[in-house]
Structure formats: structure tokens, C-alpha cells
């Protein structure tokens, strides 16, 4: 069958930047499974995979607007160093913080004696992404998968200590609270990237 909305697809992929540096790959960790049409993955990649069948390979080029968005200067903040108190502050450290556009992952870009420069952009924001993908399997989604907006593995949603394909607890899975749409959209920004759930891997 072909990849379409309400199919569960697993792909092998390698993601490179414009210079050919490998940014991410499924090699060594196994194929990534997602629910097509449920915004589990970035729009440009989803569009590129649409209509393929198992075994097909494709190179998909994703511009920033269909990937992780354009780089936004407004997401750069300068914060006095003393605001961090006793906390360790080093370039490259990342943490979650409330900002004027909601919860973001912030990365420390620069530190000097007086201030810390924080960047709330996704690390792939502003980048054109070069994917080489191979469709491994395509199957119809179960009704519960469509309802939850993510694929399940054997054992159902969130079953078997996280082996259900998402990181939500069993408690949450009994209601709509499991991997809700709201959480899924946060996940997209937070860079979870896998499983289609709201967890932060
Ligand atoms: Zn689920």
C-alpha cells in the first residue's frame, strides 16, 4: 500500500545539512515509525514521503518553512549573569524555560562576565534539510492510533514500560490526556522528533 493519511509508516533516514554533514540518522537505532498525516514529523518530510510504497527510496529536500521554521532573531535573549545564581552556566547547555511564546528549549550561545545570551530557536531552524529516506513498512493505522495521533507497537499505547512507542504513563493513556494534540504540537517545537508523543526524549 501507499503512504497516505492514516497509515503507519516506518522509515530509515539520514538527515544532512547543505554541506553534507550528517545531522541525524536512523542507522544503528532502527527505523523511525510515525503516523502519516498527524504532524508527527515535519511537514516537508511528510509531503515527500506521501504516496511511496515499502522498499522505495527518495531524497527529500526540505526548506526551513516546511522544516523547523526560519531563524527568528527575536528568540535571542540577553539575561544578566547574576540571574543564574549558583547554577552552572556554559555555552551549549540547554534547558526548558517559559518565554513570551510559551515553553521553549533555550540554548546558551554566549557567556561573559555580565550576561548570558540565550537562543530559543530550534537547532535546525533556518536550515534547509536534506533527507535520504527509505520506506521500510506501510500499514493501515488502528483506530486508537488515529485517535491518539501516534503509532502504537505491540502492547498498545504506552504499554510495557514505555515500549508502546510513546513516553506517556499508563495513567494518562486512559484519557485524551495521552499524547494530546497540544502536547504533540509542543513536541514539534521541542524537538522530540519520534514517536509522536509529548515526551522529551
Ligand atoms: Zn497512544
Burial (CB count within 10 angstroms: exposed 0-12, middle 13-18, buried 19+), residue 116: buried
pTM: 0.71
C-alpha cell at 55: 522498499
Residue 35 pLDDT greater than 70, yes or no: yes
**For residue 155, what pLDDT is reported?**
62
Q: Is 16 helix (H, G, I), strand (E, B) or coil?
A: strand
Statement: 7-67+127-162 belongs to CATH 3.10.50.40: yes
Element (H, E) at 62: strand 57-62
Number of other CB atoms surrounding residue 123 within 10 Å: 13
Average pLDDT, the chain: 82
**For residue 158, what pLDDT is reported?**
56
**For residue 86, what pLDDT is reported?**
87
Q: Distance from the CA of 24 to the center of ligand 1, in angstroms?
A: 25
Q: What is the pLDDT of residues 140-196, one digit of tens each?
A: 999 999 999 999 986 666 543 444 445 544 434 433 334 433 343 333 333 333 444
* Architecture, CATH, for domain 73-119: Beta Barrel (2.40)
Q: Distance from the CA of 136 to the center of ligand 1, in angstroms?
A: 22
DSSP code of 172? Answer: H
**For residue 182, what pLDDT is reported?**
38
Q: Distance from the CA of 144 to the center of ligand 1, in angstroms?
A: 7
DSSP 79-148: EEGGGGTTS---TT-EEEEEETTEEEEEEEEEE-SSEEEEE-S-TTTT--EEEEEEEEEEEEPPHHHHHH
Q: Distance from the CA of 133 to the center of ligand 1, in angstroms?
A: 25
Q: Distance from the CA of 43 to the center of ligand 1, in angstroms?
A: 21
Q: What is the pLDDT of residues 103-143, one digit of tens each?
A: 888 999 999 999 999 999 998 999 999 999 999 999 999 99
**For residue 153, what pLDDT is reported?**
82
Q: What is the pLDDT of residues 41-94, one digit of tens each?
A: 999 999 999 999 999 999 999 999 999 999 999 889 999 999 988 888 999 999
> Can you give the residue ranges of every domain in the chain?
7-67+127-162, 73-119
Query: How far is residue 94's CA from residue 118's CA, in Å, rounded to a whole number?
Result: 9
Amino acid at each position: 500500500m501507499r503512504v497516505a493519511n492514516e497509515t503507519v509508516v516506518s522509515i530509515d533516514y539520514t538527515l544532512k545539512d547543505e554541506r553534507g554533514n550528517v545531522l541525524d540518522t536512523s542507522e544503528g537505532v532502527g527505523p523511525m515509525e510515525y503516523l502519516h498525516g498527524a504532524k508527527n514529523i515535519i511537514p516537508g518530510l511528510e509531503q515527500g514521503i506521501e504516496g511511496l510504497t515499502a522498499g522505495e527510496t527518495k531524497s527529500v529536500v526540505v526548506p526551513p518553512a516546511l522544516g523547523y521554521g526560519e531563524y527568528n532573531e527575536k528568540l535571542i535573549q540577553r539575561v544578566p549573569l547574576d540571574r543564574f545564581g549558583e547554577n552552572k552556566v556554559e555555552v551549549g547547555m540547554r534547558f526548558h524555560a517559559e518565554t513570551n511564546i510559551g515553553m521553549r528549549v533555550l540554548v546558551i550561545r554566549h557567556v561573559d562576565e555580565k550576561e548570558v545570551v540565550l537562543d530559543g530557536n530550534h537547532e535546525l531552524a533556518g536550515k534547509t534539510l536534506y533527507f535520504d529516506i527509505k520506506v521500510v513498512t506501510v500499514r493501515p493505522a488502528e483506530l486508537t492510533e488515529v485517535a491518539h495521533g501516534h503509532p502504537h507497537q505491540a502492547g498498545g499505547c504506552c504499554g510495557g514500560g514505555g515500549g508502546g512507542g510513546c513516553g506517556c504513563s499508563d495513567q494518562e493513556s486512559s484519557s485524551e490526556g495521552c499524547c494530546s494534540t497540544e502536547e504533540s504540537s509542543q513536541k514539534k517545537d521541542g524537538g522530540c522528533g519520534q514517536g509522536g508523543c509529548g515526551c522529551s526524549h
